[in-house]
Amino acid sequence: MIGCIGLFMSSWQEQKAERNRLALARLTRTLPQIFPASVLRRALGRPFVPPTPRLAIDSYWRAHPLRADRLARALAAKSGAPPGWNWQLASDSERDSGLPTTFRTPPAPYRERAHARGPGFCCICGQPAYRFGWHADLWQSGPNKNAAWHSACVVAWQFWNAPGGEARLLRRLQARRCGQTGGRLWRDAEVDHRVPLFQVWRECRGVPWPRLLGFWGLPNLQVINRIAHAAKCAAEARQRAAETTTRMAPNLRSGEVV
Ligand SMILES: [Zn+2]
């Protein structure tokens, strides 16, 4: 039995080595003379070497979501918001406008049909996208007309929309301490927006884009224990209910008078 497993392992290792040899040959063949050194270093150190420069770049950003988050927001700051833009949600008749349908989706003006910059520009940050979805024109070849996203912005967008997928990374960043209580983080800890997104929509709509994006990025994220999370959500719900009652009270009073 042990002999069978040993045979299987060695065959698997041989297959892996062969696959890596072919991938490396293909990557070397297609690699341009100029290529980001940090990306190449990582690609060559992978258990499975990415076979193309594009895949090497994607793999690099997937491994560095926080770097991608920072970069995407910095690129967006270069673009600024389009003139006259403000954060709006799509009504039922505007489903194909590119407007977000919920305040949980980060505002992205350049994804909206009215403000899209067209081929060669990233729809998240609004900056030109170059070869391999890179954000700088290392090759002096101008914007890549086939690109509509930076590779980094794809990863940032995924992180902003589903930060729970990077819980392990965020836990490590907090030295495994609960962001709410300071106590030890348990296995069931959850990723939370310090300022809840409903509050961002309600109270921070005037914050200029792309500073708004910070509410979806690392500056507004924390990992907290499930019990602390439930208590925080309950307190937020109570606050929402109290605010709704306060807002409705004058109407009710005026209704009584009428
Ligand atoms: Zn971008």
> If DSSP states are collapsed to H, E and C, what string results for the chain?
CHHHHHHHHHHHHHHHHHHHHHHHHHHHHHCCCCCCHHHHHHHHHCCCCCCCHHHHHHHHHHHCHHHHHHHHHHHHHHHCCCCCCCCCCCCHHHCCCCCCCCCCCCCCHHHCCCCCCCCCECCCCCCECCHHHCCCCCCCCCCCCCCCCCHHHHHHHHHHHCHHHHHHHHHHHCCCECCCCCCECCCCCEEEECCCHHHHHHHCCCCCCCHHHHHCCHHHEEEECHHHHHHHHHHHHHHHHHHHHHHHHHHHHHHHHC
DSSP structural state of residue 180: T
Q: How far is the CA of 218 from the centre of ligand 1 (A)?
A: 17
Lowest mean pLDDT segment, chosen from 9-13, 60-64, 179-183, 235-239: 9-13
Mean pLDDT of 48-55: 95
Q: Pick the residue with more confidence: 98 or 257?
A: 98
Q: How far is the CA of 89 from the centre of ligand 1 (A)?
A: 22
Q: How far is C-alpha 129 from the geometric centre of its chain's CA atoms? A: 17
Q: How far is the CA of 92 from the centre of ligand 1 (A)?
A: 28
Q: What is the pLDDT of residues 103-135, one digit of tens each?
A: 999 999 999 999 999 999 999 999 999 999 999
Mean pLDDT across the chain, nearest whole number? 91
Q: What is the pLDDT of residues 6-31, one digit of tens each?
A: 666 678 888 988 999 999 999 999 99
Q: How far is the CA of 59 from the centre of ligand 1 (A)?
A: 16
pLDDT of 250 above 60: no
Identify residues whose C-beta is under 5 A from ligand 1, the ion: 75, 122, 124-125, 150, 153
Q: How far is the CA of 150 from the centre of ligand 1 (A)?
A: 4
Quick count: other Cβ atoms within 10 Å of Cβ 17? Answer: 10
Q: How far is the CA of 152 from the centre of ligand 1 (A)?
A: 7
Q: How far is the CA of 192 from the centre of ligand 1 (A)?
A: 25
pLDDT > 90 in the chain, percent: 80
pLDDT for residue 13: 87
Q: The tokens of 56 are what? A: 């090497």
Q: What is the pLDDT of residues 159-207, one digit of tens each?
A: 999 999 999 999 999 999 999 999 999 999 999 999 999 999 999 999 9
pTM value is 0.87
Q: The tokens of 188 are what? A: 């069931």
pLDDT for residue 254: 45
Q: Where are the alpha helices (DSSP H) in 31-84?
A: 37-45, 53-63, 65-79
Q: How far is the CA of 224 from the centre of ligand 1 (A)?
A: 30
- The answer to whether 221 touches 193, Cβ cutoff 8 Å, is yes
Q: How far is the CA of 105 from the centre of ligand 1 (A)?
A: 16
Q: What is the pLDDT confidence band of residue 248, given thresholds at 50, 70 and 90?
A: low
Q: How far is the CA of 48 from the centre of ligand 1 (A)?
A: 27
Radius of gyration of the chain (CA): 24
pLDDT of 96 above 90: no
